[in-house]
Homo-oligomer: A and B are copies of this chain.
Amino acid sequence: MTLDDARSLDRDDPFAEAARLFDLPDGMIYLDGNSLGPPPKPARQALDHAISEEWGQDLIASWNSADWMGLPLRTGARIARLIGAPENSVIACDSVSVNLFKLAAGLVMQGRKGVAVERGDFPTDGYIMEGLSALSGTPFTYIEPGAGVAGLPDGVEVLVRSAVHYKTAAIVDIAAEERQADRLGKAIIWDLSHAAGVIDLKLERDGAKYAAGCGYKYLNGGPGAPAFIYCRPDMAEGFSQPLSGWMGHVTPFAFQDGYKPAGGVSRFAAGTPSVLAMTALYGALSVFDGVDMGVAEAKARALGDTFLEAVSPLGLATISAPSAQRGGHVSLVHEDGYAIVQALIAEGVIGDFRAPDIMRFGFAPLYLTHEQVFRAGQRLLEIVRSGLYRDPRFAERRAVT
């Protein structure tokens, strides 16, 4: 593959318009949208308006005049389209960690016994289920990576599982897992953090019942953006969750003792949401207007293929799933991966490192071109071949990588 080949792949880029909505520093090739998306211009504009006009001019009245009350569902509606979820089945709220707790705790309160997470899945999923177990007494167990719902031991009925694995990017066949779960009488809570906004999720079609996901990766909502919860409407009615804060009450401003949940997915709201953070996310999501997620997923995969082809002369090991089963990022293995990633960053190619030896590169389809990705691959090639990464300045570990 040559630079010209890469450029030719960009000729009919379906997202050339969308790319102009992102603010990225000149010259930077940002391959970390799987960890933190860059600022979309509409996020900034929405936030400016929320600060100057809503908070600044109308203040408390904005709960009505700017419909801050409806913001979590409005934001959820924009996410619903991207994940193939029906109307009114998604609400933006809290963090992924807190939302996974709500869903799993609610299932435990329904009488479901035992919660499990695959070993090596995103750590917070397991940490939160440990916490739920300690509080509720329901057993918690890790199961083997990739075992899925069929790997749940007797007496464990709830699995929390990433739809796209944060290291391998392996896409799980949600429909097959849900069919299996139905046969076995088990429940799955999907963690969509590395899937939403890059994979053509079809939650409704595939029979998914419960999911939570992240607002700051491919959804570009800003660092630590609000997360979301999906709950299939027939499951939401009657669902109780223990973080039953006033914003999930049917009439929060009646200030009554005694909790009565709001209808449907609204009951997953807990405390007052950050209007500023959610406004940024809501604005950010507008860059997906008109985006066909099938086309987006295909472009992300093609970008990943371009990158892998550019670096193929190195013969690096990979833990990534094969192209057809791979989400929006690829993971290469090198014992000096940390230093190599630092050397790349110094040259304006931003990837990340995951211990002990994983170099991770994300291919968000809305703002990246094949040319950029090919150039990034060439840089990696040069850095490894030249041994540049052995420079001592790339060895110093930082807190977050």
Contact = CB atoms under 8 A, between A and B. Distances in A.
Interface string A13-48: 000000000010100101010011011000010010
Given A253-B399, A257-B123, A272 B224 contact: yes
Contact of A245 (B32, B95, B109, B398): B95
Contacts of A276: 47, 222-225, 274, 276-277, 280
Count chain B CB atoms within 10 A of each CB in A108, A128, A242 and give the residue with the most: A242
Given A95-B270, A135-B242, A272-B216, A59 B36 contact: yes
A227 B55 contact: no
Interface string A237-248: 000111111110
A295 interface: no
Q: Number of copies of this chain in the oligomer?
A: 2
Interface stretch (A4-12, A62-70, A201-209, A302-310): A62-70
Nearest to A63: B400
B32 A60 contact: yes
Interface in A76-128: 94-98, 101, 105, 108-109, 119-120, 122-124, 126-128
A164 interface: no
Interface residues of A, number: 92
A132 interface: yes
A352 B60 contact: yes
A350 interface: yes
A350 B274 contact: no
Contact of A226 (B96, B216, B246, B274): B274
A224 B273 contact: yes
Given A224-B273, A275-B222, A135 B123 contact: no
B136 A135 contact: yes
B245 A127 contact: yes
A312 interface: no
Contact of A401 (B57, B122, B134, B253): B253
A262 B211 CA distance: 28
Contacts of A119: 257
A258 interface: yes
Given A95-B270, A109-B134, A131-B242, 8 more contacts: A55-B223, A105-B135, A124-B271, A130-B258, A131-B243, A135-B242, A142-B257, A223-B275
Interface of A: 23, 25, 28, 30, 32, 35-36, 38-39, 44, 47, 51, 54-57, 59-64, 68-69, 94-98, 101, 105, 108-109, 119-120, 122-124, 126-128, 130-132, 134-137, 142, 216, 222-227, 240-247, 249, 252-259, 270-278, 280, 345, 350, 352, 354-355, 398-401
8 contacts: A25-B57, A97-B247, A131-B244, A135-B136, A142-B257, A216-B272, A255-B354, A276-B276
